[in-house]
């Protein structure tokens, strides 16, 4: 596990939890961690599982989201390579985690992580820094939902819809321009203008009744500009 190319890449990525760990603690944590491959649209952790499971995205793009009783979902954070997902909190703080692009996840052993936190204050400090990053991302999401431009709101709506229907290597949001306008609280003409911008930038293509997201990572960067603009590989053009 220590020599896996994706793990080494995250270790070298400044600002990540793995990079912040002391070498001896990182080796212990990696010794019993496991790699998990997750397909686009599939759950990584459910809300109930996320209370005692945690991992690190090594490849791909994922989102954490809250769910309401009537099935609606609110994206809280988009996770790129190097980002921790899941937690060891009680159920009140739990969120679900779902793959947007195909993900490789390094799932950590919760028992080992708890032992390291207890034994080594440096590990605890690294975890505190991770919690601060999550809080900052959540603040950015709240600000985007409340004060965000129409461009940000449309991007978020498309990502929320498209994660459920990966199609032929692309993410597809099965919605019309009018339906999208209704979802973000504006008129069709405004949404059409934003979609034209996205098309000109190569982020989307449109078909009857659906919108294909060609660059999910760039779309996620629009939603959460406080996050590092790390590019994630997307499938080759069909």
Q: What is the pLDDT of residues 121-148, one digit of tens each?
A: 999 999 999 889 888 877 877 776 678 8
Please check the confidence at residue 45 and state whether its pLDDT lies above 70: yes
From the DSSP assignment, how many helices (H) and strands (E) are in the chain? 9, 12
Please check the confidence at residue 181 and state whether its pLDDT lies above 70: yes
- What one-character DSSP code corresponds to residue 171? E
Condensed to tens digits (0 to 9), the pLDDT of residues 79-108 reads 889 999 987 655 555 678 888 888 999 999
- The whole-number pLDDT of residue 112 equals 93
- The whole-number pLDDT of residue 221 equals 87
Contact 82, 10 (CB under 8 A): yes
Contact 79, 110 (CB under 8 A): no
Residues sharing a CB contact under 8 Å with residue 196, sequence separation 6 or more, in sequence order: none
């Amino acid at each position: 596990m220590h020599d896996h190319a994706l793990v080494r890449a995250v270790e070298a990525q400044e600002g990540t939890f793995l990079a912040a760990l002391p070498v001896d603690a990182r080796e212990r944590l990696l010794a019993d961690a496991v790699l998990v491959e997750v397909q686009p649209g599939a759950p990584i952790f459910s809300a109930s599982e996320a209370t005692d499971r945690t991992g690190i995205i090594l490849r791909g793009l994922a989102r954490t989201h809250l769910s309401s009783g009537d099935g609606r979902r609110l994206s809280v954070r988009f996770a790129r390579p190097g980002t921790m997902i899941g937690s060891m909190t009680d159920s009140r703080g739990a969120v679900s985690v779902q793959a947007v692009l195909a993900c490789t996840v390094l799932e950590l052993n919760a028992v080992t992580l708890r032992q390291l936190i207890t034994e080594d204050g440096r590990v605890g400090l690294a975890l505190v820094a991770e919690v601060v990053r999550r809080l900052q991302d959540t603040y950015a999401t709240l600000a985007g939902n409340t004060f965000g431009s129409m461009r940000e709101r449309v991007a978020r709506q498309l990502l929320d819809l498209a994660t459920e229907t990966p199609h032929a290597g692309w993410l597809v949001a099965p919605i019309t321009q009018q339906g999208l306008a209704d979802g973000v609280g504006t008129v069709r003409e405004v949404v059409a203008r934003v979609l034209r911008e996205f098309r000109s930038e190569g982020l989307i293509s449109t078909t009857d009744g659906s919108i294909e997201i060609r660059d999910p990572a760039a779309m996620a960067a629009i939603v959460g500009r406080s996050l590092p603009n790390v590019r994630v590989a997307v499938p080759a053009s069909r």
